Homo-oligomer: A and B are copies of this chain.
């Protein structure tokens, strides 16, 4: 008996699109996935080389930070080792640009690096690697990378002012940098800052990945002091175990000038 998921649910009026779908979807509601899982093999890369690829990837057709970091890892494996790396639909990684379609959620460079890891390692292996990368990012003074003579034609040459990102969120990382440097979020300088940050994240992500491949990965960054305090009541099994995050609590929960009421007596 050939039956689609939808027919199995008793919903009438569905269109069965050929026998293939019916066959692969089976006769029950049981979920199956056909592809191989976590089967790609990671390869060690050169963080210095890939930093520049990530930087230039940022500017390539305006695909941005997430694409740049991902291509600096998986794209280079594709150029060097071919399939399956080279078959990835790379331009999909534009998804993380400006924190996903200008929303300022996750920093796209971090998303690109975490997505690359996810091609090679399942969550038990991957989560500590991502956590190390994100905790390093929260404390980093960006940008670190300077392309010098290799500055992209679309970019800005010379030194760029820096700030501590404070958060894996694009909104906080970018807006804090803009606020502290008084450079507009829509400026060419801010774009160059994020291109260089993409280089930084690509290089750090590869450093972590290379150590993992060598069996030498060890986390250097622990919980922030704020996290340690907050989980005393909000951690798993505690009296108000409602918290879902590993982000530092300080930017949004410390009563800073940025998180006080901006809708009342705001200059």
Contact = CB atoms under 8 A, between A and B. Distances in A.
Interface of A: 4-6, 9, 11, 14, 17-18, 20-21, 24-25, 29, 31, 33-35, 37-38, 40, 46, 48-49, 52-53, 56-57, 59-62, 71, 75, 78-80, 82, 84, 86-95, 97-106, 110-111, 114-115, 117-119, 122-123, 126-127, 130-131, 134, 150, 168-171, 174-175, 178-179, 184-186, 226, 229-230, 236-237, 240-247, 249, 252-255, 258-264
A33 B243 contact: no
A134 B24 CA distance: 32
A186 B245 contact: no
A264 B226 CA distance: 12
B49 A9 contact: yes
Contacts of A92: 115, 118-119
11 contacts: A6-B48, A34-B79, A37-B61, A88-B89, A93-B118, A95-B115, A99-B244, A101-B123, A178-B241, A184-B236, A185-B236
Nearest to A187: B241
A244 B178 contact: yes
B33 A174 contact: no
A53 B26 CA distance: 13
Contacts of A249: 262
A249 B105 CA distance: 13
A210 B79 CA distance: 35
A14 to B, nearest CB: 6
Contact of A87 (B87, B93, B244): B87
Contacts of A240: 179
